[in-house]
Structure formats: structure tokens, C-alpha cells
Structure 1
Amino acid sequence: MDMSEKVWLEYYPEEVAPSYEYPKQNLAQFMIDTAKKFPQQTAIFFYGKKITYEQLLKETYQFANSLKKLGLEKGDRVAIMLPNCPASIIAYYGALMIGAIVVQTNPLYTERELEHQLNDAGVKVVIALDHLFKRVQNVLPKVEVEHTIFTSMKDYLPFPKNILYPIKAKKDGLSMEVSYDQHTHSFKKLLSNAPAKPINVLIDVEEDLALLQYTGGTTGVSKGVMLTHYNLVANTLQTRAWVYRSEEKRERYLAMLPFFHVFGMTTLMNLSIKLGGMLILLPKFDVNMALKLIDKMKPTTFPGAPTMYLSLIHHPKIKNYDLSSINVCISGAAPLPGEVQERFEEITGGKLIEGYGLTEASPVTHANNIWEKRKLGSIGIPFPDTIAKVVEPETGKELENGEVGELIIQGPQVMKGYWKRPEETSNTLKDGWLYTGDMAKMDDQGFFYIVDRKKDLIIAGGFNIYPREIEEVLFEHPAIMDAAAVGVPDEYRGETVKAYIVLKKGATTDEKELEKFCRERLAAYKIPRIYEFRDSLPKSLVGKTLRRLLEEE
């Protein structure tokens, strides 16, 4: 497909070019440049505490030097197991400055999930919250981690919140106890003992990894997506080009999407740092807190998942808050219902558009126009320098407009491959194309629509859940003979997990017991919400459980 065949270019805004030059630089260079340009600009707002770009860069340099002191070198893997808080940003860019590879780790992970990821990535250092101390400690004997670093929410809270936080944490049943030794460090102490001298290790931006971002993939076992500095720099600048009305120093980003998810990392953290914006951090989505923050802090940009917008528009007291500061919202991670889009735009006066991406593409590849032509129910058109087409999944033959096939993508944001999985890489990257595993169609104007997922992925509240992982846990239960997990429609989460269970002869168990069993082995968002006990499950001739049939029921 050459430029002339990209029918969608006709619908590009005048301000967006079809192609850009992407600087060959360390991703952390965005922070260094912005701090030089706007040192006194507020970079982070966290529960009332403000941190300027100058201060943020200083602490990032201190963290980078701390890692060096601990013996970390270019290419070593650093796991960041934090919700959105100042330490998560400092640790991310600090690790990149020394050429280390960041492994974003979901703080909700159970010990089992954590062990798999730390072992698979060969992580040397873990940075986590104090109340995850026990969970991390329990995993350490089974992994080769050399150092752990613990931070606390109170580290960056303003007075008197920093004094009150431990009382609240205790009330919520969160332990802040950490036993420090030569391998277990305090984040704040490491910073105060390290120089703030600039550090920027020479890297090959197109080859060297910035990130190992874990995704469930088609096989259910979580695997690391290798993203280079160039991939992430390009996707940040592609996103920047798309929101062309955003101005340096002027934007305020409501950061509720987690940075450990690649969507939040690119469209919030990296983009805001590039533009000298202010990140208004919320460690987890809380609709009441969100409304108060929008009313008080006047964010201009709010990328999110459909569940976030849904809970805002249905809030009983929505009329008491002023949401008119919001100009742009990009919805991703799950399909956006049309009525949510219309109602949200009515309330805020801003634009809410649907986009599309996947971890393997850093992640954004498509979006609807924000201020020009867009189509309801569509994921929009490809980003600059991005080519997409719909093909016959087996042969790779391009299909006619309107025909449903597999969506494949080419662009500077496409991953290098899967970490230590050459076979999976060659199944996904073929002749320079990324096979997404999503079934789609393109109309004659170049707008794309996701029709179905080739994989049996369940997306609940923007989180990817792989049925096989849940089934493997269920199979461990002594009473269970057979099990299948499928996604069922859920008004709030988009989809929720339903488990079909076949018990062994003479064995008994109930929903309550299974819920407890799963809770010990799976992150909260993966736990089945509905259980159905039956005598058998539908199978194919080769004995594969036919999930589709269960879903259709």
C-alpha cells in the first residue's frame, strides 16, 4: 500500500501531516528538555502537593544515580510496581536515563503473577509501595531480584495529609511496616543520599529496549512486549500531532488511567512530560474524587476507559460540578457506547473520541478526529506514518472494503517482538506487519471498525483478562473436573467474567468457596463474578471447549 492508497489521508485535519521525523533519542530526553524550557512549571499535582519540572528532574537524576550505585547497568531490568504517584514517574524516567529496561508491574498482581513476571523478565530491582512489602518478600526466594526499594504514599503528600495518612492506612488495614537491610531500601533515603548530577547513558534508540510491557497474548501466559525508545518516542509524538490544539505549558492531564498500562503511560505520562503539562495524579479511579478534581483543578485532557466516562455521566450529583474545562478525551481499552459519548460531550462541552491500540504498538495506532470528521462506533483512522489493512487471517490477502478480516498494522510504534519468544514473535510479526488478532473492517473512506476479537479476550473495566489463566486456577481446585471462563455483558464494566464449572463425581463446592479460592490466586479484576454449575461443557471434535457456544448462550 503506497501513500496514494491511504484513503484516510483525505480526512486528516490540515494541521496534521501524514508523516513526521521522530528524533532518535532516549525517551527520558523529553523530561530533560522540558525541565530546561519550563523549570518552574508545575509537572505534578498530587493530593495538593505540587512538584515543578526542575524538582522532578532533580529527583529523577538522584534516582538514576541511586540505581548506578546499586550496581545497575544498561540493559538491566527494573520492575516498577506502583500506582500513579510521583515516585512512579521518577522511577520510570530515572531507570531509562541509565539505559535500564522498565518492567511495568500491576500492583494488584498476586504472588503467583508477580513471580512469573519477575522471573520471565529477569528483574534485578523492584520498586513497590510499602504496603506491598509482604507480597514482594514472599516472592523473593523464588526470583533473582537483587534489591527492593519501597516508597510510601505519604512520601509525597503535603502537610498535614502526610501525618494523617498512616492513621488512614491503618484503618484501611494496610501495613506500612518495612524491614530495611542492605538489599531493602527506602526510596526517599536513596534519593537524599544520591547526587543530582545529569546522567544519560548512550543507547541505540531503535534497538535498545525502554520497556518490557507484559500482555496476556493469545496463549493466556503473560509475555513481555519489547518496546524500544524509538517506538515510545514515535507514539508520543504521533499522539501529540493528533491533539494539535494542545499547547505547551497550558494543558492539565487528569491521570486516572494507570501508568503501568501502556495506554496511560503514552497518552498521559509521556505526552504531558513532552508538552510541559501538569499531571493531576489519582492512584485509582474514584468517581467522587474525579468529580471534585475536575471541578477544582480544571483539567483540559482526560484519556480514559469507557467505564470511567460511564460512571461520571450517571453520577447522581453530576450537576453540582463544573466539568467545562475538559477539551479532549480519548477513550480506549474497550468499545465506547455511542450514548456515553454523546452524553459526556453534552455535559462537558469537550470532545470524547474513540481510538484503538494494543500493547504491541506502544499502544495507539488509530483514533477518530477530535475536531473534524469522525464516525460513531468506529475506531477512526490510522495515525501519521501508520498503515493498516484488513486481510484474510490465514493467507494475508488484502480484503475489499467492508469485508471482515484480521487487522494488521505497520508503523514506527510497532514492537520489536516478544521477549525470549521467537516463535510467538514470528506468528505476530510477518513481513513487517503486526497481526493484531482483532477482526475488523474498513469502509470506503478509510475508517476502521473492530468487529470481533479473534482471541477469547475478556475486557472488563479496561483490563485485559485471558480466560485460560482463570481456567488454570480453577483446574487446581480439588473439586473441579472441567471449567471454562467467558466474558458476559456487564452494564458497568463492559464485560465481566463468568465461570462454567463441572464438578468431579461426588465432590461439592459453592460460589463462596470458589470466590475465596480465586481471590488468593488471581488479581481482583480477574475473579469470576458469576458461576454456573453444569454436567458438561460443549467440546469440539478434538476436545477443545467451545467458549463461543457458551458465550452465545
Structure 2
Amino acid sequence: MSAYDERPWLALYGDHPADYDVEFGNALEMFRAGVARDPGAVALRYFDGVVTRAELDELSDGLAAGLLAHGFAPGDRLAVYLQNVPQFVIAMVAAWKAGGVMVSVNPMSRQRELGYLLKDSGATVLVSLEALYDSVAREVVPGTDVRLVLTTSELEFQTRDDERLFAGMSRQRHEGTTDLSEFIAQHRGSPPPPVDLAPDDVAFLTYTSGTTGVPKGAMNTHRNVVFTAQVYRDWVHAGRDGGAIFGVAPLFHITGLIGHIAVSMLAPAPLVLAYRFEPQVVLDAFAEHRPTFTIGAITAFSALLNAPGFTKDHFASFESIYSGGAAISPTAEQNFKAATGKQVHNAYGLTETTSPMTVTPFGSPSPVDPTSGALSVGVPAPNTVVRIRDDDGRDLPLGEVGEIVASGPQIVAGYWGKPEETAANLPGRALKSGDVGFMNPEGWVFIVDRKKDMINASGYKVWPREVEDVLAEHPAVRESAVVGVPDEKRGETVKAFVSLKAGATATEADLIAHCKERMAAYKYPRSVVLVDELPKTVTGKILRRELRGT
């Protein structure tokens, strides 16, 4: 037995059990248990709007019944292309009630990205914001399997219409689409028939980029969802005593799906949503709704601390605050505590781990490694074994640096339709994270670098090849190489080095605009450097590592 199997971190959990059972057979059972406990309690708050658990149950029943009436079958996929609005949660639960799978789509995705996700997932239904359908989806849907488009508005479920977020917005109707609220109303009051969801059935697909740069649909199962929701409730103290959970992270992201939606269903506790992240809107919502838990990227928290009008009182109601998605420096942790009076706890996970694989036990500040200066990302979550392995897959001694590999109930079943990638990255349901780090003798995990070339911009992962492929579409570009460079606000940002074709002309601004038009906001390069030649090996492979320091 290796040191990792002995789980030296168990002593850090105090009186909590080392192992515990998954409480529900699927996420839908988890949701229904919360409704049964108190149907009249608040499930969702959205500005001045409130949705009770009973109303959420009825609305999702109506949507599920309508889906089934329009040919949606068990195992079918429903794509959700929304911001942080109540309709996101309604659509997710409805997909489960219809026996289907929810496909999480980043609302910043443009035509190229949305088209790929819809085609790869085989989604037959799309739930979209009206504005996103108008600007993006209308050109994409005809070439996919989508046969029903339900559109909705960020203006629903509230009457305040905050000018900071909704200025100039109005309802839109588009040919070939059906209004979501009207669709639900047509079928409300006719619950769908009971559905049998197994623990290993897929609850939702969340897309991530892999070693080839092609987005892969991670198959997060119902067992994955229930287990990690329990980790948030029991070890992170989310939703304790019914305290409200604030949705800082985007709901399409695995952090939002589990650390906001799933745990709010399990606790159960109100989930407060505010459309999208705008610092002063979020601070006002903190003051109004007095949430007790949130999790988000440290970059988001830094933006809140630097927003005009911020005071320590904005965070006074919080009992538990966690950060994930982007590395926290010891300085950022200290600055947060000085500004808010609250400890921000560190956590680490990937899409393939259905949120956390390591967590800092609630109430315990993470240690700092004296050699690297890195802040620990926590200890392995319950029922989870994290190992540090060399390139040959052998366990390394505690303290030595290698690839972080995790196994446990939160590891996904694989990648949708990609058995080769599943076998390579998830051998035996153990995730090869691609991140490099080490574990100290007490079980604290430290990340010191990334094995892959992935760029982490404000918690969003960007694959360089995707940006390079878009640059290659510009008629003046001969070659390009994309790297991540440090950025005070975003952690990392995207920088491109480009060589042009002989006789061609293009400015840095031209190339940035070209990418900006074709990619999500966090992906396009913020700076471009024109070079005569890119550094290469003798075999012609571009040396990105030589560009990072320039």
C-alpha cells in the first residue's frame, strides 16, 4: 500500500467520517426531497423575483411534459444557452424529469463554438436567451439536430429591470422559435410520467478542452452530482441552516452547476442569481439578500473588493467563502481577509471531477509551501484518493513533484462519444489532471505548474490551438503561436505571436478584432506580437516555452 492509499489527510477532517454514502440515487430524487421538505420555501431569488420550491417543481413539470409531447425521449439532450437566470435551473430539472441530459453551453460562445457543441452533443432541444438566439444561434441551428428552440428573456422573473444590466433590452420574438413561458403554460398542470434515472446515468454534459484542443463533453453522472453536492454541504458548509447561496460563478460552469445549483437543492437553501457578474450589482445583491455562502474565482472577489462603494459590511452575512477555478496567491488570500474580515478557503477541481477533488476543510486556512510560496489547494475530498505520479504512471513519494491524478465518486464516466480520449485521460476512472504538483506528508496538495499548455484566464480555460486555428483563418497569417502570460486582473491572459505571409499586411489590432469577432470574450488574444519567424525545433515544432518570457 502506498502513502496515498493510507490517506494521511484524514486527520484534518476532525470528527467527520472518512467515508460516507451517497444519499440519493439521482439528482432528481435530491431535488424532490427538498421540495417535499418545505414546498413553500424559496428556491430561487432573482433581483426582486422569487420562485418557491413548489413553483420550480411545477414549472419544470410543465417543461418536461411539453418536451415529451414534442418527441423528446429518455437519453435525449437539451442544450441550455443562458446566463445566470431562473430558467437555467428550470430547464435542468425538466431535462431530468423527461429522462434526458442537460448540455451546458457557455453564453459567451459564438457561432463556431455553439455549432460544435450542438453537433457533438446531438442536442435536439435548445433553450436560449432571445438575444443570443438573434445574434448567434439563428445561423447555427439549421445545421444541427435541434428541432425545438425555446427562447426566453433575462427580464422574466423580476420587475426591477436594473439599468446597469438591462438598459435598452426588450422582449424579442424570432421566427422558428417558441416562447419558453408560453410553452410551459400550455403543459403546466400535467406532470410528466415517472422516470427511472440510475446513478450512473448522465445528468449533464459539460464541455472542456483536452490534449488535442477539441472540446470534449464530460459525462457528469447523477452519482457525481449528488456526491459533490454533499461535499459542498458537509465539508464546505454551503447552505447550512438554510442560509442563502449566492451564484457568483456562471451556472454553465461546473462550479456553478454544483457549488450553486446542486447544493442549493440538497441543503436545501435559496439560490440567489443576478444575471451575470457586474461587481456593483453583486455587492447590492449581497446587501439585499444577505447570503451565507458563495464560491467563485479569486479574480471575481478581487473585482468586488475594488468596486466603488465596497465596504466590509457587504460580506458580513457570509459564513463560508470558497474560491476555485484560478490559483490564489497567499497575498490575495491575506488581502481578502483584511478587506472583508472573512477567510477565503481554497478548492481545486476540474470539469471531469464534477467540481472539487481537493478542498480546504472549513475553518482551516491553507498552508503555504515555504519553497515555492504556493498556497495549498486543500486536501483530497472525502472518499477521494489523490496521487502524484511520474510520466510512467508510478506513484512518487510524498513531497516529490509530478502529475496530479485523482480517483473517487466525483470522477466522470468519460467523454461523450470519445472512447480513445476517455481511455487516455481517464484510465480506470482515474483522472490524469494534466496539472503538476506535490503532496506534503500531512496530505495538503500544492499545484506548482501545468503539464499542458492550457491557459487559465479568470478561471476559464483556453486551449492555444483553438486560438491559433482562428488566427489561421485570417488571409494574412502564415503561422502563429499562442501562450498564456501573467495578468494582474485575470491571472493569465492570452498573447499571440504571429508571422505574416510574404507581401501580406495586417496590424495587431486587425488580428485581435478578427479573433474577437469569432471567439468568446475570454479566449481572444489581448495582445499580438508580429514576428518574422517563430522559434522551432529541428523537426519544425513551435517552441511555445521560448515565447512565454518575451
Q: How does the TM-score come out when normalised to structure 1?
A: 0.94
The equivalent residue for 2:172 is 177
Greater alpha carbon shift after TM alignment, 304-313 vs 72-81: 304-313
Greater alpha carbon shift after TM alignment, 19-28 vs 489-498: 19-28
The equivalent residue for 1:191 is 184
Q: Residues 413 and 429 of structure 2 are in contact (CA less than 8 Å); yes or no, is this contact kept in structure 1?
A: no
Displacement, 1:97? 1.4
Structure 1's 279 and 244: CA in aligned 2 closer, same or farther, altered over 3 A?
closer
Greater alpha carbon shift after TM alignment, 319-328 vs 277-286: 319-328
Q: Residues 476 and 500 of structure 2 are in contact (CA less than 8 Å); yes or no, is this contact kept in structure 1?
A: yes
Greater alpha carbon shift after TM alignment, 220-229 vs 535-544: 535-544
Residue number among 508, 511, 515 corresponding to 2:508 in the alignment: 511
The alignment status of 1:463 with 2:460, answered yes or no, reads yes
Query: Which whole-Å CA distance do the structure 1 matches of 2:333 and 2:546 have between them?
Result: 31
Say how many residue pairs are matched. 542
Displacement, 1:320? 7.6
User: Which amino acid in structure 2 is aligned with residue 549 of structure 1?
Assistant: E
Displacement, 1:290? 1.5
Structure 1's 191 and 246: CA in aligned 2 closer, same or farther, altered over 3 A?
closer
Q: Residues 305 and 462 of structure 1 are in contact (CA less than 8 Å); yes or no, is this contact kept in structure 2?
A: yes
The equivalent residue for 1:130 is 130
The equivalent residue for 1:334 is 326
The equivalent residue for 1:387 is 385
Q: Residues 508 and 530 of structure 2 are in contact (CA less than 8 Å); yes or no, is this contact kept in structure 1?
A: no
The equivalent residue for 1:88 is 88
Structure 1's 29 and 431: CA in aligned 2 closer, same or farther, altered over 3 A?
closer
Query: Which whole-Å CA distance do the structure 1 matches of 2:314 and 2:172 have between them?
Result: 40
User: Which amino acid in structure 1 is aligned with residue 437 of structure 2?
Assistant: A
Query: Which whole-Å CA distance do the structure 1 matches of 2:214 and 2:111 have between them?
Result: 15
User: Which amino acid in structure 2 is aligned with residue 41 of structure 1?
Assistant: A
Displacement, 1:516? 1.9
The alignment status of 1:372 with 2:373, answered yes or no, reads no
Greater alpha carbon shift after TM alignment, 276-285 vs 120-129: 276-285
The equivalent residue for 1:9 is 10
Deviations 1:337-365 (CA, angstroms, capped at 9, x unpaired)? 22222222233333311110000111211
Deviations 1:21-72 (CA, angstroms, capped at 9, x unpaired)? 1135231222211111111211111111111111111111111111111110
User: Which amino acid in structure 1 is aligned with residue 153 of structure 2?
Assistant: S
Task: Give secondary structure in 2 for the equivalent of 1:5.
Answer: coil
Query: Which whole-Å CA distance do the structure 2 matches of 1:401 and 1:319 have between them?
Result: 42
Residue number among 232, 237, 244 corresponding to 2:230 in the alignment: 237
Displacement, 1:180? 4.3
Q: How does 1:269-418 map to 2 (within 5 A)?
A: 269-319=261-311, 321-372=313-364, 374-376=366-368, 377-393=375-391, 395-418=392-415
Task: Give secondary structure in 2 for the equivalent of 1:523.
Answer: coil
Deviations 1:289-316 (CA, angstroms, capped at 9, x unpaired)? 1111112221111111011111122334
The CA RMSD measured in Å over matched residues stands at 1.9
Q: Residues 326 and 349 of structure 1 are in contact (CA less than 8 Å); yes or no, is this contact kept in structure 2?
A: no
User: Which amino acid in structure 2 is aligned with residue 224 of structure 1?
Assistant: G
Q: How does 1:43-54 map to 2 (within 5 A)?
A: 43-54=43-54
Task: Give secondary structure in 1 for the equivalent of 2:475.
Answer: coil
The equivalent residue for 2:208 is 215
User: Which amino acid in structure 1 is aligned with residue 284 of structure 2?
Assistant: K
Task: Give secondary structure in 2 for the equivalent of 1:33.
Answer: helix
Displacement, 1:17? 1.4
Query: Which whole-Å CA distance do the structure 2 matches of 1:13 and 1:262 have between them?
Result: 28
Query: Which whole-Å CA distance do the structure 2 matches of 1:175 and 1:322 have between them?
Result: 31
User: Which amino acid in structure 2 is aligned with residue 117 of structure 1?
Assistant: L
Task: Give secondary structure in 2 for the equivalent of 1:552.
Answer: coil
User: Which amino acid in structure 2 is aligned with residue 389 of structure 1?
Assistant: R
Query: Which whole-Å CA distance do the structure 2 matches of 1:486 and 1:267 have between them?
Result: 30
Deviations 1:404-441 (CA, angstroms, capped at 9, x unpaired)? 11111110111111111111111012234211111110
Deviations 1:484-537 (CA, angstroms, capped at 9, x unpaired)? 111111100111111101111111111221122112211111111011111111
Q: Residues 104 and 205 of structure 2 are in contact (CA less than 8 Å); yes or no, is this contact kept in structure 1?
A: yes
Deviations 1:123-158 (CA, angstroms, capped at 9, x unpaired)? 100000011122211112211211100011122123
Task: Give secondary structure in 1 for the equivalent of 2:447.
Answer: strand
Structure 1's 179 and 311: CA in aligned 2 closer, same or farther, altered over 3 A?
closer
Query: Which whole-Å CA distance do the structure 1 matches of 2:191 and 2:185 have between them?
Result: 15
Q: Residues 437 and 445 of structure 2 are in contact (CA less than 8 Å); yes or no, is this contact kept in structure 1?
A: yes
User: Which amino acid in structure 1 is aligned with residue 509 of structure 2?
Assistant: K
Greater alpha carbon shift after TM alignment, 234-243 vs 299-308: 234-243
Q: Residues 351 and 370 of structure 1 are in contact (CA less than 8 Å); yes or no, is this contact kept in structure 2?
A: no
Alignment gaps of 5+ in structure 1: none
Structure 1's 541 and 200: CA in aligned 2 closer, same or farther, altered over 3 A?
farther
Q: How does the TM-score come out when normalised to structure 2?
A: 0.95
